[in-house]
Amino acid sequence: MMLPPASALLPDFQQLLRVAPHPYVVMDARFTLLWANDAYLRVTGRSAVDILDRNIFDAFPGGPHDPGGARARGSCGSRWRRCCAAAPRTPSR
């Protein structure tokens, strides 16, 4: 009896995440929104057409406390650089 290849036995992860009850989003290194599941779209109140292929800070600009989104953009970008950097970075004050 011939068994199917192991890859044929793997679940369709995109389908599993699409219907998951928790919000999931996929972004690239430049914070471009590439994919979002139904739960993410539901909790953000946005449609895929509104947000996909856009930078997350353009798709979701800052709120009343940060109208231009500059503070959020700087904070998140700094965290991402620290995560990906080869050497640790000391935060500036």
Given this model, what pLDDT does residue 4 score?
73
Tokens of 81: 């650089």
Average pLDDT by stretches of 10, the chain with 93 residues: 70 84 92 93 93 91 63 59 58 61
Whether residue 52 contacts residue 35, with contact meaning beta carbons closer than 8 Å, is answered with: yes
Residue count of the chain, please give it.
93
Secondary structure letter of residue 63 according to DSSP: -
Given this model, what pLDDT does residue 75 score?
59
CA distance 12 to 1: 25
